Structure formats: C-alpha cells, structure tokens
Amino acid sequence: MKIYIDGKFFEKDEAKVSVFDHGLLYGDGIFEGIRFYNGRVFRLKEHMDRLYDSAKAILLTPDISKADLTEAVLETIRQNGLTDGYIRLVITRGEGTLGLSPEHCPKPTTIIIAAGIKLYPKEMYEHGLMVVTCATRRIPHGALSPMVKSLNYLNNVMAKIEATAAGAGEGLMLNEQGYVSECTGDNIFIVKSGVILTPPISSGALAGVTRGVVFELAAEAGIPISEPNLTRYDIFTADECFLTGTAAEIIPAIKLDQRPIGDGKPGPITRRFMERFHQLTLSTGTPIG
C-alpha cells in the first residue's frame, strides 16, 4: 500500500506524520471519504468542493490547489493498482507547538489513503439493519457546524459505541431540541404514504454526497421528497426507512428501538433506489486513467 503525504508516496510502514501535528493533538483538520468503482471515482467533484468548503469554514488554507489535489487522489489510486475501493482524504492544520493556537502551524498536512472498505455485511443490505436511539446528542450549530466534515468525530464515536453495545447496526442521533438529526455516520430517510422525508440540514445533519444523490433519484422517479423536522415517532410509523453514506451507500433500516418499521422488511422504494444507485456507481464518475 502506498500512501500520499504532502506530495510524496510512502509505503504503509513508512507513512508518518509528526506527533506535533494539530490534527493529532486537537483534531484540527478536515476529511472526506470517497468511493471509486469500476475504474471511476464517484462524485469526486462534489467531495472536493465540500472539502474546500470545510477548509474555508475553519480558516484552514490548503497548500495545494483543488485541481492538483484532485489529480493526487487519482494518482494515489493508480499507485495502488486499484479499480474499486475507498479514498480517505485528510488535511490537518499541520505541525505546530503544544499550544492550541493554529498560528504556530505554518504548513498544513495533506494525506491520501486508498484501500478497500466494507462497512456492513451483505446480509444487512438484503434484510436491513436495526437502529437504536443514542443518548449522545448531535453537536449543535452554535458549537461547531455539522456542515464541516472535521476530524472532531468523538461525538459520533461515542454514539457509535452506544449503538454497538445495544447490538444495533447504527445509532440514531437527535439534536438538542429532540428532533432527528442523522445517524452516527449516515444520513437517514423515511418513506410515508409515497413521500420521501429526511431531516433538514438545520437539524444538525451533514449535507451528505449520497444524500444529494437520493434527491436526484427521487426527482428521476417522480417521487415527492421534503425536509421537515422529524421525530422518532415519524420513524416508528414510517412505511420504509433507509440510510445513506459514501461508505454505506444506500442500506435499508427495518427496526428502530425494537419497533419494526413498516412490515419490518426493506421496502420497494428503498430497493429501487439501491439498484439505481448501484447502476450509477458503475457507469458514472471521474475515470482513474
């Protein structure tokens, strides 16, 4: 495995960053997870745009242009001889002092890792997964905008620990007002009476790239979609539920807090979108070259 760090490629055992890097010391940085299928990188432009938006929001200036970083992503895949897999792209504030201030970090650190990924077992895509509500709440906009895909993921990690301890595949996170925000690593959608519903970004959800694809699929299929505030009751009484994410893709959820959703099986709209999404991943995207 060859890993990109600041313009050079290193073997896995030689790929190192400073212990004084503020990404390690303070979680000061941003990242993107990107999938590639059949020799094409899926929605690469959308991921790169979000990365640079996140950087701007936290006053982090990458020392590489978006075009050059895009090419570096493609080259990392080539260096590893892969046609299908996952990219983890990270930009940290860089090496600095033990003090909190980023003004002592003169240069960001850029890391690109290309590898395989398998987030959920095949049977969960076939039969659906169970979700539980986590006590850990989503970080509010006033603390750190959920729109920033930052390295500060402890909030999500703690919620994931809760879900795992409960034997669930995912954990549902609410915001401070008690409305549904998202899951620990995925956006959430429900279907009720032929209408697709998902929490608004203002609820604390990330504007997921796969979330955006679902909006496109809904428009293509002529299915209404809206973004109201949702409660757990809305999920309990939904006809269908599915989760979306770059790593997860589209996966059905069939139970929340021991309550079956719909008939407790993946619904027809969920299955339709899963199939259409699979088609898109194999036929569209930026060629690796």
**What domain count does the chain have?**
2
Quick check: is 288 in a domain? no
Q: DSSP assignment of 125-175, as one string?
A: HHH-EEEEE-SSPPPPTTTS-TTS-BS--HHHHHHHHHHHHTT-SEEEEE-
Q: What pLDDT shows up at residue 5?
A: 98
Give me the amino acid identity at 276.
R
**What CATH number corresponds to the domain at position 93?**
3.30.470.10
Q: What is the mean pLDDT of residues 189-193?
A: 98
Question: 179 Cβ partners below 8 Å, 6+ apart?
Answer: 199, 203, 229, 230, 231
Are 175 and 264 members of one domain?
yes
Quick check: is 36 in a domain? yes
Last residue of a domain, one of 115, 138, 154: 115
Query: Residues 185, 251: contact at Cβ < 8 Å?
Result: no
| CA–CA dist 252, 273 (Å, integer) | 10
Rg (CA), the chain: 19
**What CATH number corresponds to the domain at position 136?**
3.20.10.10
Q: What pLDDT shows up at residue 118?
A: 82
pLDDT of residue 233 exceeding 90, the answer is: yes
Quick check: is 170 in a domain? yes
Tell me what percent of the residues of the chain surpass a pLDDT of 70.
Answer: 100
Q: What pLDDT shows up at residue 267?
A: 98
Are 208 and 192 members of one domain?
yes
pLDDT of residue 117 exceeding 90, the answer is: no
Range of the domain at 142: 122-283
Q: What pLDDT shows up at residue 126?
A: 97
Are 102 and 193 members of one domain?
no
Q: What pLDDT shows up at residue 109?
A: 98
pLDDT-based confidence at residue 119 (cuts at 50, 70, 90):
confident
pLDDT of residue 155 exceeding 90, the answer is: yes
Are 89 and 137 members of one domain?
no
| CA–CA dist 110, 113 (Å, integer) | 10
Query: Residues 22, 91: contact at Cβ < 8 Å?
Result: no
pLDDT in tens, 59-101: 999 999 999 999 999 999 999 999 999 999 999 999 999 999 9
| CA–CA dist 13, 208 (Å, integer) | 32
Are 13 and 141 members of one domain?
no
| Active-site entry in 2, 149, 160, 255 | 149
| CA–CA dist 71, 139 (Å, integer) | 33
Are 257 and 138 members of one domain?
yes
Are 44 and 63 members of one domain?
yes
Are 40 and 141 members of one domain?
no
Are 151 and 95 members of one domain?
no
Q: What pLDDT shows up at residue 142?
A: 87
Would you call 118 a catalytic residue per the annotation? no
pLDDT of residue 104 exceeding 90, the answer is: yes
Q: What is the mean pLDDT of residues 165-175?
A: 97
Q: What pLDDT shows up at residue 11?
A: 98
Tell me what percent of the residues of the chain surpass a pLDDT of 90.
Answer: 96
Q: What is the mean pLDDT of residues 3-23?
A: 98
Are 6 and 83 members of one domain?
yes
Name the residue among 200, 264, 188 with its Cα closest to residue 229. Answer: 200
Quick check: is 289 in a domain? no
Quick check: is 29 in a domain? yes
Are 49 and 187 members of one domain?
no
Question: pTM of the full predicted structure?
Answer: 0.95
Quote the tokens at residue 195.
């209408």
Query: Residues 129, 254: contact at Cβ < 8 Å?
Result: yes
Q: How many CA atoms lie within 13 A of 111 on its CB side?
A: 22
Are 146 and 264 members of one domain?
yes
* Chain mean pLDDT for the chain: 97
